[in-house]
Amino acid sequence: MTAQFASMIARRPALTMGMALALAIAVVALLPGLFAPQPPNAIDVGRALLPPSAEHWFGTDHVGRDVYARVVHGARVTLGIVAGSLALSALFGGVAGTIAGYLRGWSDLFSGQLVEVILSFPPIFLGVMITGIIGSNVANLMLALSIVYLPLFFRAARSAAMVESARPYVEAAQVLGAGEGRILFRHLLPNVLPAVLTQYIILFPLALQIQAALGFLGLGVQPPTPDWGASLQESKDYVLYASWTAIFPGLALVVSSLAVILIGRGLQSRT
Amino acid sequence: MTRFIVFRCLAAILTVWLASMVVFAMVRAAPGDIIEMMMGQMGSSEGEAALRRFFGLDQPVYVQYLDWLGRVVTGDFGSSWRQGSPVTELVFNAFTVSFELALLVLIVSSLIGVPLGLLAGYRAGSAVDTIIQAFNVLFLATPVFWLALMLLFGVSTFFYWSPPTIYVSPLRSLTDNLIILAMPMASLAFLQIAAYAQFVRQHVVEALQQDYVRALKARGVPARTILGKHVLRNILVPLITFMGLIFIQILGGVVVIESLFGLPGLGRLLVNALYARDFPVVQGALVMVLISAIAINLLVDILYRAIDPRLRS
């Protein structure tokens, strides 16, 4: 068992490292109270902007909140939003793309043009536009992020569905008299799934950056919720003399992106 | 070739038109408008109605859209509701700031990133390659605005220097302008260098397995010539497509860090206009972004057909 494990690490170091990091982060995001029992929003103005110490591992912020507690509790907020909105995006984009790729014709042309229009906005502008106009709260942020990445899931699913539609098993199902719905959902969708999942892993770090950037611009999660991007926005006026308020939420973003990027690279190089 | 260009231009115009409709519809569907903000608590209903007439907001939305579109076609984006100045001028001035920074980042990151990618790809599997790849992964994971914060902190702590906060146009003093742009440029460049290096490395590794490279090696052509002349030329088409993507991505990054460095660019204009519900400015800024993104894609499409004759037919 251990020998197998060691050989897997040796063969696919990036994947193993990424998985280990992602697992650790997931545990923190699911059980933040276990790692930081102190409340993330407890204000103590008398103890504002204290440097890291044994009592406050990551120091305190401008109103005396514990930065460590905020980073730990922020994992669930930030990563939850990204994971959730990408899942929505994958669901709708994946199903629409599969249908468009299988049926072709007008529905395909129409949705293709719609996708083209969404893609013509650079992602961050689209995010800024949606959250800035309809208002910044968690639901709108998730809506914005899922719209931003919908076209890419649509495209991935569409091209996978086109490839799959040409396979004999689809023809066999057609000959056996299976309905369009049955072919789409029972036969095609499971085979399109890997392409959608790959896209999910590729897009996760990008979506995380956009989520954080919107928080940083004040258009994402609103304070006092301990979101990493929002924490960085609050820290920017203090960074010169209380750098720890900016260093740790940012490192959390870097490590999380890194974990997923490593998994993606590990999966790509199947050697 | 001419037919292709005409066709692509028409398609680009169609996309801009559709997208402008999306922008207009979204902005008009927004909850809360400037009239409410202007009138505040003291507003009378007559005053409100008069203001709505003044801004043309009493018309049905499609009339407002056609009216707006009719003027946009002639290059007139209306006036800012908050400042009264022409939107075209506000947007254009802001765009030149963002564009200059984006262009600088593109140049610097191409000049550093492409050679790094060539080197890593040529020496795939070596220690140099591992170091470059570690650099890539690290900076692909780093948010640009956080890197900007860290640079501000690091440079001021160790070198006792911070960038000036009052923007100077390059037309007034190029040196002062570049001093102001140095740190924002560095914060954006690392990510793009990493993106370039990764992309070029991948393509070089693939190119090196092809017959023409083996033939060149067999003839004893030096590695530098193979890489710089033959491989680079062969990956030029994907590289140019990639450059277009990078440029659009840089424009996005510029927007996020402008406020941090006090640059009067498009992002700051857009975010401030959104907060103030100054819709003509929001529409103008977004259409400007759309036009530039679509223009870059168009340019890329035309450019690589010009480079690679095989794609022309």
B163: closest CA among B149, B152, B174? B152
Q: How far apart are CA B161 and CA B206, in angstroms?
A: 44
In a domain, A175, yes or no: yes
Residue of B140, B146, B151, B270 to mutate when probing chain A, most A C-beta within 10 A: B146
A219 touching B, CB under 8 A?
Answer: yes
Q: How far apart are CA B313 and CA B303, in angstroms?
A: 15
How far apart are the CA of A248 and the nearest CA of chain B, in angstroms? 10
Backbone angles phi and psi of B86, in degrees to 5: -65, 135
A173 touching B, CB under 8 A?
Answer: no
Q: How far apart are CA B257 and CA B180, in angstroms?
A: 13
Give me the interface pTM, i.e. the ipTM.
Answer: 0.90
Structure tokens at B232: 């680079």
The answer on pLDDT for B20 being more than 80 is yes
In a domain, A204, yes or no: yes
In a domain, A18, yes or no: no
Q: How far apart are CA B292 and CA A121, in angstroms?
A: 10
A120 touching B, CB under 8 A?
Answer: yes
Residue of B24, B149, B151, B246 to mutate when probing chain A, most A C-beta within 10 A: B149
- DSSP H stretches of helix in chain B: 2-29, 34-39, 45-55, 61-73, 87-122, 127-140, 144-159, 174-208, 211-218, 223-225, 232-234, 236-261, 266-276, 279-307
Q: So what's the pLDDT on residue B58?
A: 75
Q: How far apart are CA A125 and CA B267, in angstroms?
A: 9
In a domain, A5, yes or no: no
Query: Across the A/B interface, how many CB contacts are shorter than 8 Å?
Result: 128
Structure tokens at A74: 């922020």
A232 touching B, CB under 8 A?
Answer: yes
Q: Dmax over Cα atoms in chain A, in whole Å? A: 76
For residue A146, the domain's CATH number is 1.10.3720.10
Confidence of residue B33 (pLDDT cuts 50, 70, 90): low
Confidence of residue B195 (pLDDT cuts 50, 70, 90): very high
The answer on pLDDT for A271 being more than 50 is no
Range of the domain at A156: 24-268
Query: SS3 of B86, please?
Result: strand
A139 touching B, CB under 8 A?
Answer: no
How far apart are the CA of A173 and the nearest CA of chain B, in angstroms? 38
Query: Using one digit for the tens of pLDDT, what is the confidence trace for B152-193?
Result: 999 999 998 888 888 888 888 889 899 999 999 999 999 999
In a domain, A90, yes or no: yes
Cβ pair B140:A257 closer than 8 A: yes
Q: What is the pTM of this model?
A: 0.91
Q: Which long-range contacts (CB under 8 A, 24 or more apart) does B172-180 make?
A: B177/B100, B180/B261, B180/B263
Confidence of residue B4 (pLDDT cuts 50, 70, 90): confident
In a domain, A147, yes or no: yes
Cβ pair B270:A246 closer than 8 A: no
- Interhelix angle A228-235/A189-216, rounded to 10 degrees, is 20
Chain A residues with CB under 8 Å of B251 CB are 122
Confidence of residue B309 (pLDDT cuts 50, 70, 90): confident
Amino acid, res. B153: F
Q: What percent of chain A has pLDDT over 70?
A: 99
Chain B residues with CB under 8 Å of A135 CB are 31
The answer on pLDDT for B75 being more than 90 is no
- The count of domains in chain A is 1
Q: What secondary structure, in 3-state letters, does A204-250 show?
A: HHHHHHHHHHHHHCCCCCCCCCCCHHHHHHHHCCCCCCCCHHHHHHH
B257: closest CA among B247, B249, B267? B267
Cβ neighbors of B170 (< 8 A, separation 6 or more) are B100, B177, B178
